[in-house]
Structure 1
Amino acid sequence: MAQVESSTAQNYGAVAAVVGTPVVSGLAYGPVIRVSGVPEYDVDAAAEIPETERAAEAARFVAAAETVAERFTARARANTGSTAEVLAATAALAKDRAWIATATGLIEKGTPAAAATVRAIDTISDMFAKLGGLMAERVTDLADIRNRVVAEVLGLPEPGIPLPEQPSVLLADDLAPADTAGLDPKLVVALATRLGGPSSHTAIIARQLGIPCVVAVADLNRVDTGAMVFVDGERGVVGVDPDAEQIAAAVEAAQQLAAEVAQWRGPGRTADGHAVAILGNVADGVSARSAADLGILAGVGLFRTELAFLERPDEPSVAQQQSLYREVIDAFDGDKVVIRTLDAGSDKPLRFVNHPHEDNPAMGVRGNRIVATHPEIREHQLDAIAAAADGAGAVPWVMAPMVATVAEAREFAAQVRERGLTPGVMIEVPSAAVQAEKILAEVDFVSIGTNDLTQYTMAADRMSAELAALTDPWQPAVLALVERVGAAGRAADKPVGVCGEAAADPLLACVLVGLGVSSLSCAPAAAAPVGRKLATVTLDQCAAAAQAAVAADSPVDGRAAARAVLG
């Protein structure tokens, strides 16, 4: 394993370390635990099922798949925010007709249910991996579904994460949403994965939990289970066997700082009084009320509306949607609420829409593009939002995802204004960033989705561990595009927000403000660290750090340059 260089970073006396991409700041220490209980099953040794028993075997398989899907659905309902959304998408994948039909067809030819499950899922996984982009993100989810269905078929316990008896560090190749959804942050104090990227499901859920996280750690499997390790989520380091006294003192200092940060109550502003709205990302009424109860957010910067649509066999009615939207509006009554219209397609297909096969779905019919074939879906959604806004304390802001042209922005804005709402669009496609001035002439605001903007700018699958450095939002090319959008916002005197995962990084948040961003929307758990960091620096410092980061040659250099300015 690579030695930690004490000349460049504090090593706390560690004997060795492995390094990856930092995604959630913080410092934690404990023994290593790993996901266990994956069923062992020899597919090649499976005996053929007699023809007279195949119908019963197929029925047993279908029942097992339905049970696993129902467990995902139950977990989704028990969670809120992005965790609930991710689990709901996995539940939909577990019910997907394509892989179930493939497995059933194999069983009808004599393949046992467990072997058919493995072969069907592996076939779909290979196809998803070749497609890349958002579809490749689902390979981990498919493997999790496979393992759970096989365990159910064989009558084995459901695989998952062991319940530690003391605060521990969870290491894994990758983590499925069901693994991370039920984590207790008092017992699992940090995460590190060999695969994944800065916007992977693991990173998103770690931010929601507020625990240190490092991804794309190539040599992670060289760290033994049970070893005492620290995870430094700011530097991206997993250190092995540090000096007990040194690391204990460092963790205590980090916990004291975290306690101070947790006392931040807003409003968002720099040390010299420049206002920056700190907003929350939510997915339903429950997560919105939980976010509002924190008492530190100025409103909602991203209301993901997908939960109203996922897993449904038919389109939700206007009345059903209206009820969901009103819950979120009421949770922040009188405050800013930004609602994103449906971002479906690709990795989040709708059961009531016949999505055509796409060789490259990450760049296919998703987000706002679905209106080309199903305009009624967006029209009904806008009707529901307008109805939900009736009598509210503030007019909701509504933005469309995956807008690529000025014409798309103009068409969307007209429909939103017809309903008395405030129109905006997401800047996720490089073409939209390049044309930010023209787009802002059509709408009242824009919000930058850094996850997709990074992926599309760098032409790199955001789930690829090998390309994690390219999908880092600190990439200078990505920051240069943000700078262009920020300048367009200032010129038009219109708000420019960021609602991607980059807004949850306190250091990067300061850089974004220096690039002209006026609001930051993040997981509610990240709001206090972001607000507290901004309160310690001036706008001039943010601008200087921003210029240094844009001028850097790499994300690592950009972080270092910004830290030198901001502390």
Structure 2
Amino acid sequence: MQNFSGVGVSPGRIIGSVRQMPKPVSEPAVGERLSSSTTADEATASLRAASKVVQAELQGRAAAATGAGRAVLEATALMAADPMLIKAAVKLITSGTSAERAIWESGASVAEMLHNLGGYMADRATDVLDVRARIVAELRGVPAPGIPQSTEPFILIAEDLAPADTATLDPAKVLALVTSGGGPQSHTAIIARALGLPAVVAAPGVDELVDGTEVYVDGAAGTVSVDPAADEQALVAAWLLAAETLAVFDGTGSTADGHLVPLLANVGGAVDAVKAAELGAQGVGLLRTEFCFLERDTEPTIDEQVVAYRGVFDAFPGKKVVVRTLDAGADKPLPFLTDSTEPNPSLGVRGYRTDLTTPGVLKRQLTAIATAAADSPAEVWVMAPMIATVDEASDFAAMCRVAGLKIPGVMVEVPSAALLADRILGEVDFVSLGTNDLTQYTMAADRQLGTLAALNSPWQPAVLHLIRLTVAGSIAQGKRKPVGVCGEAAADPVLAVVLVGLGVSSLSMTARSLSAVGAVLKSVTLDEAKRLAELALSARNADEARTRVRAELPILEQLGL
């Protein structure tokens, strides 16, 4: 049996046939000319025919899609027959350039023009480049990029998934996700957890599997096996039974001896909040307010924000809702707020720092949050991302007081904030650990790179020590202040036990992870969790830390985790 090993990022056991995500379309050679057997008129006709095929295919997908996915596909379909794009390509063909190279150069020119216009038009530049690749693929007679279509469910294999790829990802068709690249906190991992799909990332070699190959995927162990036998089929059957146990969270997070650990949800809007409430979430530990700002070229009004926030608050009457202020920058650029020319945006003006370059946006957002909270039965807390100094924490708390918000906090995702947690908690009422960025910045490892997956793991002892230091800072304040976790680490049932053992007071995660985390927590006492935390802290590396703790939790095998 041929086996592949990677990083398990979303539990589940499944057997199915693989479908490969088509490889990115390669650029036609610079200076590529028409062949001696092809006239300019013939090449032009081929180009126009290819653009129509691409447009029809995208329109068909759009008709079958819903919501944001449909809007993305409709916009891309329009670009496929854009007169300016085709006209410029035809002009190049007339001068002797091949059809593939002509549409490639034309697409580059149109995309650059749109990018320079800024705002909404700049966002359409990506659509042009997508269309360009699809037309070249059609001209070459090779599969177009994107999620493959299939009448039967399949296991998707890819190098990695970009946010745009997920617009057409149908969970009813995609049984599991396996990537050769990416890492435990990559976009693929986050999407898989949100959809409840078994997933393995950073598994070298899987992109060589032939379409139709039957494989067994274990999303907890991080393994992929070709031609599964009876043993793997039995494991899948056992998982299906265990999944029934994991389908329901009883609404109370606690250890076996009754130590309460509220299990909250990470949400991106009212729809997410309603679903999380239905799944038993004890509140919201992270409301990503970017949902109000993305896909816009102007700042939303205070009234627009109030309506959006209130929809989330109303889903959790009498419960805590932690609102993170706008985390723009890095992989979430906004045309009216961030600088797209920054050489290293992850270390640039993002999160709270945008108030330095564009003052007023944060103040208006806090006003909107306070207005939405004023007549809401929810208990609204608010926190700022990318806080690095005590002064920043103090200034943010002052802004919250002016706005009428009573419970200010900050994110701990920069190592300096963990090191200064005691002093920062002297200025605010709580902190929440964003383990995705805290790991990335601690280990100096881009969380999207599969080659750095081992470094970019929240199981790294260095990261765990920073988490313990943050908790120690809360205790140093005399009256202990809450320290939550809202990063993806909280969705790992095994790591959740360690986090509780380190003294974390609440865990927030994608709502689909609530039941698994709740079940594993209830299998240990608080003292046992503390012992397991020490095992992880004293480990040599992330793999050793995870292996040590897993070996002490027999419930994982029972639940297929």
TM interval, short-chain normalised: 0.7 to 0.9
Alpha-carbon deviation of 1:338? 0.5
CA distance in structure 2 between the partners assigned to 1:162 and 1:402 by the alignment: 38
CA distance in structure 2 between the partners assigned to 1:39 and 1:357 by the alignment: 26
Please give the residue correspondences for 1:10-29 in structure 2 after superposition, counting only pairs within 5 Å.
15-29=1-15
Q: State yes or no: 1:114 paired with 2:100.
A: no
Checking the alignment, whether the CA contact within 8 Å between 1:43 and 1:115 is kept in structure 2 is no
Query: What per-residue deviation string (whole Å, max 9, x for no partner) do you get for residues 99-137 of structure 1?
Result: xx999999998886621267679999xxxxxxxxxxxxx
Deviation larger for 115-124 or 449-458:
115-124
Alpha-carbon deviation of 1:177? 2.6
Query: What per-residue deviation string (whole Å, max 9, x for no partner) do you get for residues 170-192 of structure 1?
Result: 11112233333443334322111
Please give the residue correspondences for 1:441-460 in structure 2 after superposition, counting only pairs within 5 Å.
441-460=426-445
**Corresponding residue to 2:213 among 217, 223, 227:** 227
CA distance in structure 1 between the partners assigned to 2:424 and 2:88 by the alignment: 50
CA distance in structure 2 between the partners assigned to 1:174 and 1:233 by the alignment: 16
CA distance in structure 2 between the partners assigned to 1:434 and 1:106 by the alignment: 57
Give the equivalent residue in structure 1 for 2:259.
274
- Summarize the Cα distance change of 1:171–1:38 in structure 2 as closer, same or farther, 3 Å threshold: same
Alpha-carbon deviation of 1:207? 0.4
Please give the residue correspondences for 1:177-256 in structure 2 after superposition, counting only pairs within 5 Å.
177-243=163-229, 245-256=230-241
SS in 1 for 2:297: coil
SS in 1 for 2:457: coil
Give the equivalent residue in structure 2 for 1:500.
487
**Corresponding residue to 1:384 among 368, 381, 386:** 368
Give the equivalent residue in structure 1 for 2:134.
151
CA distance in structure 2 between the partners assigned to 1:520 and 1:419 by the alignment: 27
Give the equivalent residue in structure 2 for 1:329.
313
Alpha-carbon deviation of 1:251? 0.5
Q: State yes or no: 1:543 paired with 2:530.
A: yes
CA distance in structure 2 between the partners assigned to 1:435 and 1:515 by the alignment: 17
Alpha-carbon deviation of 1:230? 1.1
SS in 1 for 2:185: coil
Checking the alignment, whether the CA contact within 8 Å between 1:148 and 1:159 is kept in structure 2 is no
CA distance in structure 1 between the partners assigned to 2:91 and 2:369 by the alignment: 47
> Which amino acid letter does the alignment assign opposite residue 115 of structure 1?
W
SS in 2 for 1:276: coil
Query: What per-residue deviation string (whole Å, max 9, x for no partner) do you get for residues 477-499 of structure 1?
Result: 11111111122223431111111
Query: What per-residue deviation string (whole Å, max 9, x for no partner) do you get for residues 276-306 of structure 1?
Result: 1111111111221222222x10111111111
> Which amino acid letter does the alignment assign opposite residue 299 of structure 1?
G
CA distance in structure 1 between the partners assigned to 2:393 and 2:377 by the alignment: 26
Alpha-carbon deviation of 1:234? 1.5
CA distance in structure 1 between the partners assigned to 2:385 and 2:261 by the alignment: 23
Stretches of structure 2 that go unaligned for 5 or more consecutive residues are 79-83, 114-123, 555-561
Alpha-carbon deviation of 1:142? 9.6
CA distance in structure 1 between the partners assigned to 2:261 and 2:339 by the alignment: 40
Checking the alignment, whether the CA contact within 8 Å between 1:207 and 1:526 is kept in structure 2 is yes
Q: State yes or no: 1:478 paired with 2:467.
A: no
CA distance in structure 1 between the partners assigned to 2:160 and 2:277 by the alignment: 32
CA distance in structure 2 between the partners assigned to 1:162 and 1:241 by the alignment: 22
CA distance in structure 2 between the partners assigned to 1:334 and 1:453 by the alignment: 31
Give the equivalent residue in structure 2 for 1:527.
514
- Summarize the Cα distance change of 1:46–1:361 in structure 2 as closer, same or farther, 3 Å threshold: farther
- Summarize the Cα distance change of 1:442–1:511 in structure 2 as closer, same or farther, 3 Å threshold: same
Give the equivalent residue in structure 2 for 1:138.
none
Alpha-carbon deviation of 1:404? 0.3
Checking the alignment, whether the CA contact within 8 Å between 2:328 and 2:338 is kept in structure 1 is no
Checking the alignment, whether the CA contact within 8 Å between 1:117 and 1:146 is kept in structure 2 is no
- Summarize the Cα distance change of 1:292–1:389 in structure 2 as closer, same or farther, 3 Å threshold: same
CA distance in structure 1 between the partners assigned to 2:87 and 2:521 by the alignment: 56
Q: State yes or no: 1:487 paired with 2:472.
A: yes
Query: What per-residue deviation string (whole Å, max 9, x for no partner) do you get for residues 49-105 of structure 1?
Result: 99xxx9xx9xx99xx99x999x99x979447xxxx9xx99x999999xxxxx99999
- Summarize the Cα distance change of 1:255–1:359 in structure 2 as closer, same or farther, 3 Å threshold: same
Alpha-carbon deviation of 1:23? 1.1
- Summarize the Cα distance change of 1:197–1:94 in structure 2 as closer, same or farther, 3 Å threshold: farther
Q: TM-score with structure 1 length normalisation?
A: 0.81
Equivalenced residue count is: 516
- Summarize the Cα distance change of 1:356–1:103 in structure 2 as closer, same or farther, 3 Å threshold: farther
> Which amino acid letter does the alignment assign opposite residue 256 of structure 2?
A
Alpha-carbon deviation of 1:160? 2.9
Deviation larger for 431-440 or 155-164:
155-164
- Summarize the Cα distance change of 1:115–1:499 in structure 2 as closer, same or farther, 3 Å threshold: same
Alpha-carbon deviation of 1:417? 2.1
Checking the alignment, whether the CA contact within 8 Å between 1:514 and 1:539 is kept in structure 2 is yes
- Summarize the Cα distance change of 1:354–1:459 in structure 2 as closer, same or farther, 3 Å threshold: closer
Alpha-carbon deviation of 1:240? 1.4
Checking the alignment, whether the CA contact within 8 Å between 1:410 and 1:442 is kept in structure 2 is yes
CA distance in structure 1 between the partners assigned to 2:77 and 2:499 by the alignment: 38
Query: What per-residue deviation string (whole Å, max 9, x for no partner) do you get for residues 328-375 of structure 1?
Result: 111112211011101112222212236262221110001100011112
Q: TM-score with structure 2 length normalisation?
A: 0.82
Checking the alignment, whether the CA contact within 8 Å between 1:285 and 1:328 is kept in structure 2 is yes
Query: What per-residue deviation string (whole Å, max 9, x for no partner) do you get for residues 439-460 of structure 1?
Result: 1111111011111100000011
> Which amino acid letter does the alignment assign opposite residue 240 of structure 1?
V
Stretches of structure 1 that go unaligned for 5 or more consecutive residues are 1-14, 96-100, 125-140
Deviation larger for 313-322 or 378-387:
313-322
Give the equivalent residue in structure 2 for 1:8.
none
Alpha-carbon deviation of 1:419? 2.5
- Summarize the Cα distance change of 1:479–1:354 in structure 2 as closer, same or farther, 3 Å threshold: closer
- Summarize the Cα distance change of 1:399–1:354 in structure 2 as closer, same or farther, 3 Å threshold: closer
RMSD (Å), alpha carbons: 3.9
Checking the alignment, whether the CA contact within 8 Å between 1:542 and 1:566 is kept in structure 2 is no
- Summarize the Cα distance change of 1:231–1:144 in structure 2 as closer, same or farther, 3 Å threshold: farther
CA distance in structure 1 between the partners assigned to 2:380 and 2:446 by the alignment: 33
**Corresponding residue to 1:259 among 244, 247, 262:** 244
Please give the residue correspondences for 1:83-162 in structure 2 after superposition, counting only pairs within 5 Å.
114-116=103-105, 146-151=129-134, 159-162=145-148
- Summarize the Cα distance change of 1:102–1:195 in structure 2 as closer, same or farther, 3 Å threshold: farther
> Which amino acid letter does the alignment assign opposite residue 176 of structure 1?
A
- Summarize the Cα distance change of 1:93–1:479 in structure 2 as closer, same or farther, 3 Å threshold: farther
Please give the residue correspondences for 1:300-449 in structure 2 after superposition, counting only pairs within 5 Å.
300-353=284-337, 355=339, 357-421=341-405, 422-449=407-434
Give the equivalent residue in structure 2 for 1:4.
none
Give the equivalent residue in structure 1 for 2:162.
176
Query: What per-residue deviation string (whole Å, max 9, x for no partner) do you get for residues 217-247 of structure 1?
Result: 122234332221111112211111121x211
- Summarize the Cα distance change of 1:356–1:186 in structure 2 as closer, same or farther, 3 Å threshold: closer
CA distance in structure 2 between the partners assigned to 1:172 and 1:467 by the alignment: 17
CA distance in structure 2 between the partners assigned to 1:94 and 1:425 by the alignment: 42
Give the equivalent residue in structure 1 for 2:116.
none
Checking the alignment, whether the CA contact within 8 Å between 1:43 and 1:118 is kept in structure 2 is no
